[in-house]
Amino acid sequence: MRASVTAHKEFTVAKIDPRLYGSFVEHLGRAVYSGIYEPGHASADEQGFRQDVLDLVKELDVPVVRYPGGNFVSAYNWEDGIGPKEERPVRLDLAWHTAESNQVGIHEFADWAAKAETEMMLAVNLGSRGLDEARAFLEYVNHPGGSYWSDLRRQNGREEPWGVKLWCLGNEMDGPWQIGQKTAAEYGRTAFETAKAMRAFDKDIELVVCGSSTPNMPTYPEWEYTVLDYTYDSVDYISLHMYFENHEQNTKNFLARSMELETYIETISSVIKTIKAKKRSNKDVYISFDEWNVWYHSAEQDKPVLEGKHGWPHAPALLEDIYDFADVLVVGCILNTFIRRSDVVKVGCLAQLVNVIAPIMTVEDGPAWRQTTFYPYLYASKYGRGTALDLAVDVEGYETDFANNVPYLDVAGVLTEADGGLSFFLVNRHESEALDVELSLEGFAHSSVTMDKVIVGYALDKTNGPDEEPVAPADGDDASIVDGKLSVKLAPLSYRMIRLK
């Protein structure tokens, strides 16, 4: 099967915000405790942070990490995580039916983020709490000194403010599972007043208002319309969340799920434009896709904890999906979708970073290791920063019950900012046929392949583990450029990243 792609220097989508490749650490399962923080571990530093995990996070070059939730934040008292550790209360977390020790709070997480060379994206509780707690948290985090909350931060050992730029106004407030669920009007009004108060402190912070938890919510997309009608001129982003499943083990459908993602983005982009026109506004609101991943492998094993059958355990194993080769292909397609829609999707957070539906896993008192999905995330983060190209693609497609003409080739291209190179990310969705790809480079002088990485040849259910990581990239050897055309054969069910000088 043949595929024709054209990349033209003058046809671009947008400059990619590096925060498109962010991630997420929630107080959930082992994401924090025995994930990023395990004082007794052999690799732990003087603060208890696992250096082996930090090394893998820095390998991914994660630009921003959302914290502390997630569902957790909707009943969280941020004040529980400050002051002497021995005086911090243990709280029952209603979101995940566990106990929270509060041994890691804003000070500890901020220190970890600095060591991980990433920025913080903080969420405020608009479920069980509201405006006052949000403005107090902002003052504690960002004010230099001379006020109650900023002086309390200094008393607690942090002299300088952290200067956090990006703030989430709650989490998934449309969800019936959420503590403090609200109607769109209730939430829109609360978010508007909270945004107004936070901007009275600092007009230059960036605010993210809650959109739909999934496109399957009965209120979608009316929720976005109502919330933005209240908040449009007060916020910068609206958040979207989406998780991808394959319970029926239908490979064709699973690999096509990113088409639903494209529709989701396009729908909310249209809502944003509608509200902008209605309000005669001069500003733009973008999408923060701050939760996304494959999530279904661990659903059954998590039920006893979530149903309360184990009491209130501290940091139990929850949402620990073990990813396989099929998930590599799906994550590759998702990331390609975000690159192609970087005109409207500016922030993205892979949910999550460590242990909880994550590319990095740990063994308590043992090693940290890379899941299969580590690699498409790695390549997009490292080589997908720059300007997204508007590619013309001609290839056969297939039908599903939810999407028509799903292209067998999923591809995104980026003119990279750091070195002027070209990066192409390619997935062959076909289960049995190779794709002979011819990619025309119009207006580009790139003439040599400098990197060619391929993940291919594994059973779809093949996984990595703490003892070995068999699903890993290998060097491709057949990509070539002749007369301004890149030629490469993509094996069936394969992921590939090619860099041109």
**Which residues carry out catalysis?**
172, 291
Other Cβ atoms within 10 Å of 436 Cβ, number: 13
Whose tokens are 């980026």? That residue is 414
Pairing of strands 397-398, 12-15: unpaired
Q: Report the chain's C-alpha Rg in angstroms.
A: 23
**Among candidates 12, 4, 8, which has minimal Cα distance to 487?**
4
Q: How far apart are CA 11 and CA 306, in angstroms?
A: 49
Pairing of strands 449-455, 474-475: antiparallel
**Among candidates 294, 273, 292, which has minimal Cα distance to 284?**
273
Q: Is the peptide bond before 484 cis (omega within 30 degrees of 0)?
A: no
Q: Which amino acid is at 202?
A: D
Residues 6+ apart with CB under 8 A from 468: none
Q: How far apart are CA 187 and CA 226, in angstroms?
A: 9
Q: b/e for 460-494, b at 16 or more Cβ within 10 A?
A: beebbeeeeeebebeebeebebeeebbebebbbbb
The distance of Cα 33 from the centroid of its chain, to the nearest Å, equals: 20
Other Cβ atoms within 10 Å of 447 Cβ, number: 11
- Which tokens go with 379? 């390549």
- Which tokens go with 228? 């933005």
In 52-157, beta strands by DSSP E? 64-67, 91-93, 98-100, 119-124
DSSP string, 47-76: TSBBHHHHHHHHHHT--EEEES-SGGGGG-
Torsion of CA 31, 32, 36, 41, to 10 degrees: -110
